[in-house]
Chain A
Amino acid sequence: MTKIIRNVVCPFCGCLCDDIEVIVKDNHVIGTRNACRIGHAKFVHFEGAIRFTEPLIREDKRDEFKKVDWDTAIEESARILVEAYKPLLYGWSSSETHAQFKGIELAELLGAVIDNTATV
Chain B
Amino acid sequence: MQDSGYPVATLAEATHRADLVIYWACNPIHAHPRHMTRYPVFPRGFFRERGRKDRTLIVVDPRKTDTAKIADIHLQIEQHKDYELISALRAALNGLTIEADKVAGIPTEVIYQVVDTCKSAQYGALFFGMGITMTRGKHRNIDNAIRLVIDLNRYTKFILTPMRGHYNVNGFNQVASWITGYSYAIDFSRGYPVYNPGETSTINLLKRGEVDAMLNIAADAGAHFPQKAIEHIAKIPLICIEPHKTPTTELANIILPPALAGIECDGIAYRMDGVPIELKKIIEPPEGVLPDREIIERLIKKVKEYL
List A residues at the B interface (Cβ < 8 Å).
5, 7-18, 22, 24, 27-29, 36-39, 42-43, 49-59, 61, 65, 70, 73-120
User: How distant is the Cα of A43 from the Cα of B186 in the complex, in angstroms?
Assistant: 32
Q: Residues of B contacting A8 with CB < 8 Å?
A: 280, 282
Most buried by B among A27, A51, A59, A87: A87
Q: Which residues of A contact B169 (CB under 8 A)?
A: 14, 93, 116-118
- Top 7 nearest A-B pairs (CB, nearest first) are A96-B267, A14-B164, A11-B262, A84-B213, A91-B219, A93-B166, A78-B302
**B268-307 interface bits toward A, Cβ cutoff 8 Å, 1 = contact, 0 = none:** 1111100011111011101111111101111110111111
Q: Are B201 and A70 in contact (CB under 8 A)?
A: no
Q: In whole angstroms, how far apart are the Cα atoms of A89 and B249 in the complex? A: 15
Given A9-B277, A115-B201, 15 additional A-B pairs, CB 8 A: A8-B280, A15-B272, A52-B244, A52-B245, A53-B289, A58-B253, A90-B202, A91-B217, A91-B218, A94-B218, A95-B168, A99-B218, A100-B171, A104-B186, A120-B203
User: Does B31 have its Cβ within 8 Å of any Cβ on chain A?
Assistant: yes
Residue of B nearest to A55 (CB): B256
Residues of A close to B244: CB separation below 8 A: 49-52
CA distance A12 to B86 in the complex (A): 30
13 contacts between A and B (CB under 8 A): A52-B245, A58-B254, A59-B253, A61-B251, A81-B303, A90-B214, A93-B218, A99-B296, A101-B179, A107-B188, A109-B300, A113-B202, A117-B166
Is B184 part of the contact surface with A, judged by Cβ < 8 Å?
yes
Interface segment out of the listed B62-70, B71-79, B95-103, B204-212: B204-212
Question: Which one, A9, A24, A119, contacts B184 given CB within 8 A?
Answer: A119
- B173/A87 in contact, CB under 8 A: no
Say which residue of B34, B221, B297 sits within 8 Å of A91 (CB atoms): B221
Tally the A-B contacts, defined by beta carbons under 8 Å: 332
State how many angstroms separate the Cβ of B252 from the closest Cβ of chain A. Answer: 8
Kindly list chain A residues whose C-beta atoms are within 8 Å of the C-beta of B247: none
Chain A residue contacts of B31, Cβ below 8 A:
13
Contact check, A16 vs B271: say whether CB atoms are below 8 A apart: yes
Known contacts being A50-B244, A91-B219, A102-B293, is A77 close to B172, with CB within 8 Å? no
* A9-B293 CB under 8 A given contacts A58-B253, A93-B166, A116-B169: no
B224 at the A interface (CB under 8 A): yes
